[in-house]
């Protein structure tokens, strides 16, 4: 019998998922907007992304299906393989980004160049800790992990207090960002978890409550992390989180923040990579695929400069925004909770149109004040309803 996750455990999973160096760094990109406009963009983006996060989690909770199994509802059993592969790719990418970022920050906090002779050792050390966390079963809270979570919370609270106790200054550099682009970047972070969230809501006995608490835990904490990055950039005039921590004179505390954050957060995408590939080939071990994902992340983080990931975020948006638009229409409008075909051509066709529209809009640098994700989701949602009815689904 499958273990039923408590609402507290589900909330803590997503609380820890949001406490991330990647989210703090992304928040620094909002500094050219200033504090007020930056916060508005963060909130708007997280409202949009959080709503999609909630819908995806609720579908999994009500059907008791994993994230990739819910995708089969709209795209068919074999059609969902495309999204399993794309999801595995983005999760491996996130794993590499988090390990790279963690090792880079540790290097700078130890007053060394970002890339130095110890950098491979830092990536390896972080990778080993992530694997240990995975083997402990990261969704089950033990004494060690409870202490780690409390430590992580206190460290972030301490960093927040350091920021609000100082005066803001204009950020250095000439990098500018449009308000709509900022909203889009804030939207994409919760959107990137759409192929993951149902893996952690599918066992609940209270679908609505568990999904709502998970959504609130993630979106509120993610807004907090973005705000830390925004505030830190405005306080220091810097956009690199390592430089921000170093200027604060927090070498030991900073290393603790980075190590704990990287260990806890990277385990989630690594585990979900295993879930995605398990959807393609059921005989694959989720645990071993997760470990292989971390090892791959270590290798990529060591040999590639993976911190410039704006285009990576937009790729995630272009894949999963139209995907959730189609899925929401099929589940909530047509009440479909099982795949009807091996390959659903209509679902895949609408998704592809949405994907192309997203890429064209980003290529033309056109976005609304609500970003690109929101209109693309609205379009694919409406088009799915129209085409399904016209073809008498």
Give the pLDDT confidence of 349-387 residue by residue, as tens digits.
999 999 999 999 988 878 789 999 999 999 999 999 999
Structural domains of the chain in order of their starting residue, each with its CATH number: 7-390 (1.10.4160.10)
pLDDT tier for residue 113 given thresholds of 50, 70 and 90? low
Give the pLDDT confidence of 165-213 residue by residue, as tens digits.
877 766 555 567 899 999 999 999 999 999 889 888 888 889 999 999 9
CA pair distance 225, 160, nearest whole angstrom? 9
258: pLDDT strictly greater than 50: yes
pLDDT tier for residue 259 given thresholds of 50, 70 and 90? confident
Query: How does the average pLDDT of the chain come out, rounded?
Result: 84
In the predicted model, what is the mean pLDDT of residues 323-347?
93
pLDDT given at position 2: 44
| pLDDT top residue among 5 and 354 | 354
The burial class, CB within 10 Å (0-12 / 13-18 / 19+), for 387 is middle
Residue 203 CB neighbour total at 10 angstroms: 17
Q: Is the pTM here over 0.85, yes or no?
A: yes
Q: Say what percent of the chain tops pLDDT 90.
A: 39
Are 38 and 312 within 8 A, CB to CB?
no
1: pLDDT strictly greater than 50: no
Q: How far is CA 360 from the centre of its chain?
A: 23
84: pLDDT strictly greater than 90: no
| pLDDT top residue among 244 and 340 | 340
pLDDT tier for residue 218 given thresholds of 50, 70 and 90? very high
Q: Is 177 left (phi over 0), alpha (psi -120 to 50) or beta?
A: beta
DSSP string covering 122-165: HHHHHHHHHHHHHHT-TTS--HHHHHHHHHHHHHHHHHHHHHHT
Dihedral angle computed from the Cα positions of residues 327, 328, 330 and 334, in that order, rounded to the nearest 10 degrees:
170
pLDDT tier for residue 145 given thresholds of 50, 70 and 90? low
Are 268 and 199 within 8 A, CB to CB?
no
CA pair distance 218, 383, nearest whole angstrom? 30
In the predicted model, what is the mean pLDDT of residues 16-42?
89
Q: Which DSSP letter does residue 200 get? A: G
- For the ranges 104-118, 136-150, 172-186, 219-233, the lowest mean pLDDT is seen at 136-150
Dihedrals φ, ψ of 65, to 5°? -115, 150
pLDDT tier for residue 8 given thresholds of 50, 70 and 90? confident
In the predicted model, what is the mean pLDDT of residues 220-241?
85
């Amino acid at each position: 019998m499958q273990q039923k996750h408590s609402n507290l455990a589900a909330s803590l999973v997503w609380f820890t998922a949001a406490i991330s160096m990647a989210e703090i760094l992304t928040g620094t990109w909002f500094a050219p907007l200033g504090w007020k406009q930056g916060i508005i963009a963060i909130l708007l983006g997280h409202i949009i992304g959080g709503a999609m996060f909630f819908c995806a989690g609720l579908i999994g909770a009500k059907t008791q299906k994993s994230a990739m199994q819910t995708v089969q509802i709209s795209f068919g059993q074999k059609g969902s393989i495309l999204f399993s592969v794309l999801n595995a790719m983005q999760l491996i990418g996130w794993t590499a980004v988090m390990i790279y970022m963690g090792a880079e920050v540790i290097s700078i906090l130890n007053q060394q160049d970002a890339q130095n002779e110890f950098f491979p050792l830092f990536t390896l050390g972080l990778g080993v800790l992530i694997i240990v966390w995975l083997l402990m079963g990261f969704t089950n809270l033990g004494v060690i992990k409870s202490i780690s979570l409390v430590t992580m919370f206190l460290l972030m609270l301490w960093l927040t207090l350091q920021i609000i106790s100082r005066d803001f200054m204009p950020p250095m550099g000439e990098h500018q960002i449009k308000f709509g682009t900022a909203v889009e970047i804030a939207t994409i972070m919760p959107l990137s978890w759409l192929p993951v969230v149902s893996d952690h809501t599918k066992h609940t006995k209270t679908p609505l409550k568990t999904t709502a608490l998970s959504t609130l835990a993630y979106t509120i904490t993610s807004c907090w992390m973005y705000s830390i990055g925004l505030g830190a950039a405005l306080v220091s005039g810097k956009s690199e989180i390592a430089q921000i921590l170093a200027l604060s004179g927090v070498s030991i505390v900073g290393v603790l923040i980075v190590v704990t954050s990287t260990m806890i957060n990277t385990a989630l995408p690594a585990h979900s990579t295993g879930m995605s590939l398990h959807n393609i080939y059921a005989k694959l071990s989720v645990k071993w695929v997760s470990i292989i994902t971390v090892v791959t992340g270590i290798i990529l983080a060591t040999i590639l400069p993976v911190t410039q990931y704006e285009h990576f975020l937009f790729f995630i948006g272009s894949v999963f925004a139209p995907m959730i638009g189609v899925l929401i229409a099929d589940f909530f409008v047509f009440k479909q909770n099982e795949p009807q075909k091996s390959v659903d051509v209509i679902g895949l066709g609408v998704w592809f149109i949405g994907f192309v529209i997203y890429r064209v809009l980003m290529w033309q640098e056109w976005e609304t004040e609500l970003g690109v994700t929101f209109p693309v989701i609205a379009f694919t949602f409406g088009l799915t309803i129209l085409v399904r009815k016209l073809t008498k689904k």
